[in-house]
Every structure is written in C-alpha cells, then in structure tokens.
Amino acid sequence: MHSKTKTRLYRRAYVTWLISTGVNTVPAIMGATGMPRRTDQDTLSVTPELSIVLENKNGSYSAVDWGGLTLIVKSLVKRTGVRTDNFHPWGDL
C-alpha cells in the first residue's frame, strides 16, 4: 500500500500523462481512470503544486509543462536506460 503522498503524486502524473495522450476532458479522464468527477477535478486543480502547467480551453486540457515530473522522469531514464523517444512529452531527453 502506498502513502497518501505517493498516491497523490501518481494520480497527478497519470492524469497529466492521459491529457498528453489525448484523454483530455474530465468525462474522458473519468472514463479512463474510473475516478469520480470530483476526484478528477481536484487532481486537475492541484497539479500546479508540482509546477505542472495545464492549459484549459473550453474544457479540453493540454499539458504545457510537466514541471517537477520532468526531473523524476529524467532520473528514471538515466538509472534504467529506458528509451522514451516515442512518448510525449519526454521525446527530447
């Protein structure tokens, strides 16, 4: 079992990743995650705490900047050697 802090981090990362793959409206995120609307809305509203920048245009979100998660991913790539060329937003690592 993960701590609440880890769960929140994973949830924010997952929702940001979904948005970057085109699952970018609250109903679509609800469908992909199975989370209630309020949980998804709360997750979207607190992502700036990790310096994640999401843009909302008429209910359609886009990931502008992954903020603190970029450092985490770069660290994972460096340690594991996993290539991320085919995955947005880390194709430039």
- Which class does domain 4-67 fall in? mainly alpha
Q: What is the pTM of this model?
A: 0.74
Radius of gyration of the CA atoms of the chain, in A: 13
Query: Which residue blocks in the chain are alpha helix, DSSP H?
Result: 4-20, 26-33, 37-46, 68-80
Confidence of residue 88 (pLDDT cuts 50, 70, 90): very low
Count CB neighbours of 56 within 10 A.
12
Q: What is the pLDDT of residue 87?
A: 44
